[in-house]
Amino acid sequence: MTGEHEFTCEELHTCDESVDDLWARARESDSVMVPRTAEFFNWRYFQKPGREYTVYGIKDRNGVLQGLLVLKVFIGRDETAGHVIDFLAADNPEIQQAILNKPIEFFTEKEVTNITCWITRHNPIAAQLQAIGFSQTEWPTYSGVRILDDAFADASFVSDSNRWSFTMGDSDVF
């Protein structure tokens, strides 16, 4: 990406405190999501037996981590698909665009012709995905919430599905 903001994308082999700093900036949105800390990313993507993920860090020109991206090539019986498993960034369109450029490059190099990801239509990155050629499809999935702790009884924001943010990485299937 050129212009005022330049970003580099490098493959990561572990996550450190820079991911926690990124999470602190990214969680400032009003989304309800699983915490994306270094501990989570290491456990979910690097310490998993049979690990099949490629993790990228997107850094600004000062070397500050601005985004994370997790990709996976899925080889099925009838097709090979590229999965955008997880991503994390603050609500900044330039950073989000830098994140979205990488899967297309990565999966093109792997000769994958179909890329999928999970994202709620209310996520700010959804419009950017459509602008670069992704199409929205309906896939029947059911999610729900029940507050178990009375201390959170008035946390109605949790039951507002427009505030939910989830990715393939929130499912143990991927």
pLDDT tens digits, residue range 40-57? 999 999 998 777 899 999
| Residue 101: HSE in the Cβ half-sphere, 13 Å Cα cutoff | 16
Residue 87's closest CA among 163, 145, 16, 19?
19
Q: In the chain, what percentage of residues exceed pLDDT 90?
A: 40
> Which residues face 80 on adjacent strands?
75
Q: How high is the pLDDT of residue 142? A: 67
User: How distant, in Å, are the alpha carbons of 102, 122, 146, 162, 167 from that of 127?
Assistant: 17, 9, 30, 15, 16
What residues have CB less than 8 Å from 156, skipping those under 6 apart? none
Given a cut of 70, whether residue 171 has pLDDT beyond it is yes
Residue 170's closest CA among 117, 128, 126?
117
Q: What is the mean pLDDT of the chain?
A: 84
Higher-confidence residue of 6 and 59: namely: 59
Q: How high is the pLDDT of residue 3? A: 46
Q: How high is the pLDDT of residue 2? A: 41
Q: How high is the pLDDT of residue 30? A: 67
In order of their start, the domains of the chain are: 7-170 (3.40.630.30)
Instruction: Give the model confidence (pLDDT) of 91-128 as tens digits.
Output: 788 988 888 889 999 999 999 989 988 887 777 788 88
Start-to-end CA span in the chain (Å): 29
Residues 126-142 as b or e (16 or more Cβ within 10 Å = b): eeebeeeebeeeeeeee
Mean pLDDT of 9-34: 88
